[in-house]
């Protein structure tokens, strides 16, 4: 969100246009799917701790719900824009379709910085957001979830406000709740594990032994932490992670050729995900610039932090040794960089397939809430493995049969499924 010239929604539309041409979609379907069905812009007045009233700007975008209720997170970010929200809602539609869960794409946001707000002020924003949308979201309409700088507590305040307005219990109206209050076991691990389930299948198809591979991860938030953990459980060696430093307002890369230790790094990580540089050096880590993760001499790159990271400028820094890129983040690779990656012959597991573990487990949470019966962690994660593996194999088969890039294959499957749903409903 920092690059002012980068427009995520334009990128999402460009990607869609390219695939629509390959699928030979009719004009009406193209027009329907390249824009959201609904957009909500609203003001949220909140009484601050000092007694003043501050007005925050909020958004919700429902891109397409032909296959089921919209689904997607709510972000709190000082630089949030409607274009970012529209792009993420669009990608959510394709993400739900590619893993074949009966949901559509949505996304929400509030322009605010939670670091500068008290708990009570954050609660005011959460409840105000719901009051503005109480009749436009819900278990059979649109199911929100946590995203950047929102968490389980925020979701619970939102659920409570929704239930107060509707005079009932509706735990399936929102996901990402605490376990014991309608949350699903396995949800914390889901996105990171999903990335590695797809990576495991890709390496198997490529004839590469995962135990002989090395990987570099961008990020050390929830996604990267669990991805590193599972990757190392499978016998791979993670040699690098990066993180954002709240104090310096910049990112750093931490490299240790002998392999990183998740628990060791977590013990020196602050609540914002920043790793203590001095302590890391004492533990034998080399501390480098934040972009150094992409230059590592490894077999696998896992961008698991922000969008717009592998660009036409940074893609040239990728080592010739890299064989696979597994996109844990949303939109980390620009279309210009994609062209160069294809020329280099690097195998890509595209973002909305690789990181769909989160929304898949959110769907599981919704299912459990709606039937009021909850699964064990093992059951949730084994269902996740089955869903992610099946989705990966279908995309990989399409890529081979149509001789197309993996990203295009994933888009072709997803967009065709949504287009078919719109047609069958008689929308186009």
Taking the C-alpha atoms of residue 379 and residue 159, their distance in angstroms, rounded to an integer, is: 26
- Order of strands, sheet of 250-255, starting from the edge strand that comes earlier in the sequence: 286-289, 250-255, 237-245, 214-218, 300-303, 324-326, 347-349
* Eight-class DSSP state of 59: E
CA distances from 6 to 3, 81, 306, 334, 408 (A): 5, 12, 13, 10, 21
The catalytically annotated residue of 95, 107, 177, 323 is 107
Is 107 a residue of the active site? yes
Tokens of 147: 């995203």
Residue 246 burial (CB count, 10 A): 13
Burial state string for 178-212 with b = 16 or more CB within 10 A and e = fewer than 16 = eeeebbbbbbbbbbbbbbbbbbbbbbeeeebebee
Taking the C-alpha atoms of residue 215 and residue 227, their distance in angstroms, rounded to an integer, is: 11
Is residue 359 within 8 A of residue 71, CB to CB? The reply is yes
CA dihedral 90, 44, 180, 163 (to 10 degrees): -100
Provide the annotated active-site residues.
107
């Amino acid at each position: 969100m920092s690059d002012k010239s980068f427009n995520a929604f334009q990128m999402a539309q460009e990607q869609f246009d390219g695939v629509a041409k390959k699928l030979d979609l009719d004009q009406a379907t193209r027009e329907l799917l390249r824009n959201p069905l609904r957009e909500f812009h609203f003001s949220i007045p909140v009484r601050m701790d000092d007694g003043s009233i501050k007005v925050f700007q909020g958004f919700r975008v429902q891109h397409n719900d032909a296959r089921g209720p919209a689904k997607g997170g709510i972000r709190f970010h000082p630089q949030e824009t409607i274009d970012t929200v529209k792009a993420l809602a669009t990608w959510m539609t394709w993400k739900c379709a590619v893993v074949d869960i009966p949901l559509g794409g949505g996304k929400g946001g509030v322009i605010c910085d939670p670091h500068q707000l008290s708990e009570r002020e954050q609660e005011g924003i959460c409840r105000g957001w719901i009051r503005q949308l109480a009749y436009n979201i819900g278990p059979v309409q649109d199911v929100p979830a946590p995203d950047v700088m929102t968490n389980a507590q925020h979701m619970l305040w939102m659920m409570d406000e929704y239930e107060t307005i509707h005079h009932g219990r509706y735990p399936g109206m929102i996901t990402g709740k605490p376990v014991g209050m309608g949350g699903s076991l396995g949800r914390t691990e889901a996105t990171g594990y999903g990335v590695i389930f797809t990576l495991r299948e890709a390496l198997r198809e490529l004839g590469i032994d995962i135990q002989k591979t090395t990987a570099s991860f961008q990020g050390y938030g929830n996604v990267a932490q669990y991805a590193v953990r599972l990757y190392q459980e499978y016998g791979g060696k993670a040699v690098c992670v990066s993180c954002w430093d709240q104090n310096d307002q910049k990112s750093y890369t931490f490299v240790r050729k002998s392999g990183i230790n998740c628990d060791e790094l977590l013990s020196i990580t602050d609540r914002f995900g920043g790793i203590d540089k001095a302590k890391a050096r004492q533990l034998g880590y080399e501390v480098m610039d934040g972009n150094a993760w992409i230059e590592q001499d490894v077999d696998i790159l896992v961008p698991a932090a922000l969008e717009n990271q592998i660009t036409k400028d940074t893609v040239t820094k990728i080592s010739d040794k890299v064989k696979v890129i597994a996109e844990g983040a949303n939109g980390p690779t620009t279309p210009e960089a994609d062209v160069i990656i294809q020329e280099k012959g690097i195998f890509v597991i595209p973002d909305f397939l690789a990181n769909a573990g989160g929304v898949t487990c959110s769907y599981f949470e919704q299912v459990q809430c709606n039937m009021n019966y909850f699964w064990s962690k093992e059951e949730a994660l084994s269902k996740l493995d089955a869903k992610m593996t099946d989705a990966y194999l279908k995309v990989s088969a399409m890529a081979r049969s149509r001789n197309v890039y993996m990203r295009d294959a994933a888009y072709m499957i997803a967009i065709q499924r949504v287009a078919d749903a719109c047609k069958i409903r008689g929308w186009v």
